[in-house]
Amino acid sequence: MSLTGIFLIVFLVVHCYVNAQIFYFDGGVRFLEAAHFMGTNLLIRTTEIGLFAFLILHMVQGLSLAFKNRSRRSQKYAVSAGSATSPWYSRSMALLGTLILLFLVLHLYKFWGPNRLNQLTTGEELNLYTAMKEEFQMAWVVAVYFLGCFSLAWHLVHGFYSAFQTLGFGNSRYKGMIKSVGIGFSIVVPIIFFMMPLAFFMHWL
Amino acid sequence: MQHYNMNLNLKVWRQKNSKTSGAFETFKVSNISSEMSFLEMFDVLNEQLVAEGKEPVAFDHDCREGICGMCSMHINGRAHGPWSKNTTCQLHMREYKDGDTIVVEPWRADAFPVIKDLVVDRSSFDRIIQAGGYISVNTGNAQDANALPIEKQQADDAFAAAACIGCGACVAACPNASAMLFVSAKVSHLALLPQGDPERKTRAFNMVNQMDAEGFGSCTNIGACEAECPKGISLENIARLNREYVGSMLSGSAVEGLQQ
């Protein structure tokens, strides 16, 4: 879980950096250059296969872990501690992950799928900037993106710290630093992501 | 603080044995002093039940000083009750007021089957210890304390981990019913001291294997165990266990140990 999780965190950084190019307010010139590089570079495209493999591994491991753990207490407590002993998001990783997956289905269907299909059939990439501009006029799409980013943020608050704890970095020297960097990351990255649909929807771009 | 007496409603889990399914039974106890411990309140209840010719409620207890790790009640959703770094025997009735309803359940985990009422079988912990939580060298008589220099911080961390009384509150509190905090404390206090070093490579591996075989859940770093531990065992021990486990896996000796 931790290794695939950290790989996905690295992916988020790259994805966020490339897509944030739209905020140069240059009509998408820089963004399209970067998107072209990402869409055609052999190394990136090979890593993309790894990304999907890791994503699927992360989901399969995560869900089987959640189901296995749930089965370890056949007789449930009549009264449970709830949030008195642990934060809700740390107990809801499978739910948050599933919400992110639902968002991902829409996200890939809207952008990644059509683009790769076009590349396969015509060899040409789609103009993803105009595609974003069109898609993000629909309020329900923006709402699903909000839900996706919101779930991602809470998933990361626990996931970032948890990944390093599992790898054994959770000692007194690093724990505070990992927790603070994790919380900062969980706030900044989802906000930058959500600024994209919001910016198009509000006609800032 | 003023002493006071109270009348309480108790919802207590009753179960004949591990084969049968249990149910809650409601009792009323009166004139409970705020100065009593939670277990003394149960003594009052049981005397009342004996006088009425009924079966008393079975519960685990031994030292009643908060050091042995025998008491094990899940009180209103909290392992060892609502006080932090505290055992059930040291929970006092001043926490409650007249007319309160208290729900008392046994530790719930498939690896801790109910023996009777509130008593659960924690021998899975013993089997984890038997899998590696010991040192095989004959240490002889206690030697001079300064003959074996150990860094102060190291000694303090080992002591803090050794404070684990094996009560199982970590398992009871964990939403996954995982025993990682217990295992990590037992691995840590030996891993931090030179006496534990010779068997270090196989210890973490064998103990984690036994933990999985007993049917405990897997750790997802939720941290409810640390919050409920009466001895304040830190999650840092789990990070150390993970490091020890990886070290155990990387060196061939763990696998050799399995083959023996």
Question: What is the CATH number for B82?
Answer: 3.10.20.30
pLDDT at B257: 53
Mean pLDDT across chain A: 96
Of B173, B176, B177, the CB nearest to A85: B173
pLDDT at B111: 97
Q: A180: which 2 tokens?
A: 């603070």
Of A81, A162, A172, the CB nearest to B77: A81
pLDDT at position A115 over 70: yes
Tell whether B12 and B50 lie within a shared domain: yes
- Interface contact B224-A167, CB threshold 8 A: no
- What residues of B are in the A interface, CB distance below 8 Å? 11, 22, 24, 74, 76-79, 82, 103, 105, 108-111, 173, 175-178, 215-224, 227-228, 235-236, 238-240, 242-243, 246
Of A71, A75, A165, the CB nearest to B238: A165
- Interface contact B220-A73, CB threshold 8 A: no
Q: Tell whether A85 is within 8 A of chain B (Cβ).
A: yes
- CATH of residue B165's domain is 1.10.1060.10
Of A69, A75, A78, the CB nearest to B217: A69
Q: Which of B236, B233, B139 minimizes the C-alpha distance to B194?
A: B139
- A86 contacts in B (CB within 8 Å)? 175, 222-224, 227
| Pair B88, B71: CB distance under 8 Å | yes
Tell whether B112 and B158 lie within a shared domain: no
- Interface contact A93-B220, CB threshold 8 A: yes
Q: Least CA distance to B243: which residue of chain A?
A: A168
pLDDT at position A147 over 80: yes
Average pLDDT over residues A118-143: 95
pLDDT at B258: 56
Residues 6 or more apart whose CB falls under 8 angstroms from that of A119 comprise A39, A125
Domain total in chain B: 2
Q: How far is A67 from chain B (nearest CA, A)?
A: 10
* Ranges of residues in chain B whose predicted pLDDT is under 70: 139, 252-260
Mean pLDDT across chain B: 94
* 3-state class (DSSP) for residue B104: strand
Tell whether B46 and B65 lie within a shared domain: yes
In whole angstroms, what is the distance from residue B219 CA to residue B12 CA? 29
Tell whether B86 and B143 lie within a shared domain: no
Tell whether B131 and B239 lie within a shared domain: yes
Tell whether B68 and B138 lie within a shared domain: no
* pLDDT tens figures, B18-36: 999 999 999 999 999 999 9
Average pLDDT over residues A42-46: 95
Residue A200: what residue type? Answer: F
- B76 contacts in A (CB within 8 Å)? 79
CA distances to A112, A189, A205, B234 from B164, rounded to whole Å, are 52, 40, 59, 10
Task: Return the residue in B208, B216, B220 with the most chain A beta carbons within 10 A, the one to mutate for interface testing.
Answer: B220
Tell whether B77 and B144 lie within a shared domain: no
- A70 contacts in B (CB within 8 Å)? 176
Domains of chain A: 2-70+88-201 (1.20.1300.10)
Q: Which of B116, B71, B120 minimizes the C-alpha distance to B91?
A: B71
Tell whether B111 and B147 lie within a shared domain: no
Tell whether B111 and B126 lie within a shared domain: no
pLDDT at A66: 96
CB half-sphere exposure, B257, CA atoms < 13 A: 19
Confidence of residue A177 (pLDDT cuts 50, 70, 90): very high
Confidence of residue A171 (pLDDT cuts 50, 70, 90): confident
Q: B242: which 2 tokens?
A: 């993970």
- Expressed in percent and rounded to 5, the helix, strand and coil fractions of chain B are 40, 15, 45
Of B69, B96, B116, the residue that ends a domain is B116
pLDDT at A61: 96
Task: Return the residue in A67, A86, A166, A179 with the most chain B beta carbons within 10 A, the one to mutate for interface testing.
Answer: A86
Q: How far is B119 from chain A (nearest CA, A)?
A: 15
Question: Residue B129: left (phi > 0), alpha (psi -120 to 50), or beta?
Answer: alpha
Tell whether B86 and B184 lie within a shared domain: no
- Number of neighbours of residue B177 by Cβ within 10 angstroms: 25
pLDDT at A150: 98
Of B69, B86, B116, the residue that ends a domain is B116
Q: Which domain holds residue B92?
A: 5-116
Q: Across chain B, which distance is largest between two alpha carbons, in Å?
A: 64
Angle at B214 between CA B210 and CA B219, to 5 degrees: 80
CA distances to B27, B52, B106 from B178, rounded to whole Å, are 32, 40, 16
Tell whether B146 and B232 lie within a shared domain: yes
Of A70, A81, A161, the CB nearest to B173: A81
Average pLDDT over residues A38-54: 96
Q: Tell whether A179 is within 8 A of chain B (Cβ).
A: no
Of B72, B96, B116, the residue that ends a domain is B116
- B223 contacts in A (CB within 8 Å)? 85-86, 90
pLDDT at A200: 96
- B219 contacts in A (CB within 8 Å)? 166
Tell whether B237 and B148 lie within a shared domain: yes
